[in-house]
Structure 1
């Protein structure tokens, strides 16, 4: 697991008292490498599959990813999940990608963890200022802004998702330009009071 420099410990107190310390997770859900970011750092769940895998093998793979994600996330106040990508020409694993996404989101909701759904373009815009940025640019920006050593773009995406949730809750991991912050407006956020009351 990649450890971040505990940037949240330096949060300045607000005028009315100390700022709340929220537990936020960022999840970049993928069949080949799900990225996870929590207070403890970032990690990735790599798996491989084959087109000829049986339905039992495919289910076992998705269960492994889901169980690992839930273990890493634990009990948090908010989970920021990258929304599913629309595929115009469905491939062999389209159903599995969608099934894995819903499996993880459903498991989070069953734990009463509020979930925010962030589009890939909003994630890229928050990271770089452009919703059209490629994953390499997001990775470079995440490493530079948060001082993190990230081993994959999956982890970078997850860290950006987590940073967006922290920003939305008023405890940003780092200052970002207003143009980047505008990406928060396009996120499907849960009820803020429900998150803050946890």
Structure 2
């Protein structure tokens, strides 16, 4: 039985050395899909998901410890990198429960990266989906399947898939794409907020 394919997806193809910059050093890029319940992380070592649970009865101290724990785990996983690609806030979910705490966690992690002098790129959710599937309104399940197909990765959840896509976008921006993507997918890079990477790329 033939495995189902998604429109716009191509089999995994190694990127030519001339494109990947084999003569140059490989850039260290991390992808971060920040969440209170399942923060996805992608680095050179693979993907991971930091899972936590909160309760309605949690005190301020409980909520602080939870955010402190997630932030600490993220920083340990990321280590020292040339670029961290972070998914930007989802404005469509601002009215959802926990949005206030999620905003705080997002800034805690981004702030900690800045304090380490790690350049941070902000990738809008629609740009992440467009790079993965060619469509900015693709659901997470579609992005997950696209990431599994294009990169041949074992991804147990959409959090890790999103993080991998974010990392792939950062590497592509630096001229070392993980795999070839169609022009329509590549156009998503233009919608991101990229930091000045002159010191990194020189």
Q: Work out whether the TM-score is over 0.5.
A: yes
Aligned to 1:115: 120
Find the aligned partners of 2:50 and 2:191 in 1 and give their Cα distance: 27
For residue 193 of structure 1, the aligned residue among 171, 193, 198 is 198
Find the aligned partners of 2:17 and 2:168 in 1 and give their Cα distance: 17
Find the aligned partners of 1:44 and 1:178 in 2 and give their Cα distance: 30
Aligned to 2:27: 22
Q: TM-score, normalised by structure 1?
A: 0.90
For residue 50 of structure 2, the aligned residue among 27, 36, 45 is 45
- 3-state SS of paired residue (1:59): helix
CA 1:88 to 1:125, structure 2 compared with 1: closer, same or farther past 3 Å? closer
CA 1:11 to 1:72, structure 2 compared with 1: closer, same or farther past 3 Å? farther
For residue 183 of structure 2, the aligned residue among 174, 178, 198 is 178
Q: Do residues 145 (structure 1) and 150 (structure 2) align?
A: yes
Find the aligned partners of 1:88 and 1:46 in 2 and give their Cα distance: 20
Q: Do residues 106 (structure 1) and 96 (structure 2) align?
A: no
1:128–1:137: 8 Å Cα contact kept in structure 2? Answer: yes
Q: TM-score, normalised by structure 2?
A: 0.89
How many correspondences in the alignment?
A: 189
Deviations 1:69-96 (A, max 9, x none): 0000000000000001114662441110
Runs of 4+ in 1 over 2 A off after TM superposition: 87-92
Aligned to 1:4: none
Find the aligned partners of 2:64 and 2:22 in 1 and give their Cα distance: 48
Segments of structure 1 that go 5 or more residues without pairing to the other structure are 1-6
Segments of structure 2 that go 5 or more residues without pairing to the other structure are 1-11
Aligned to 1:3: none
CA RMSD of aligned residues (A): 1.9
Shift in Å, 1:46: 0.3
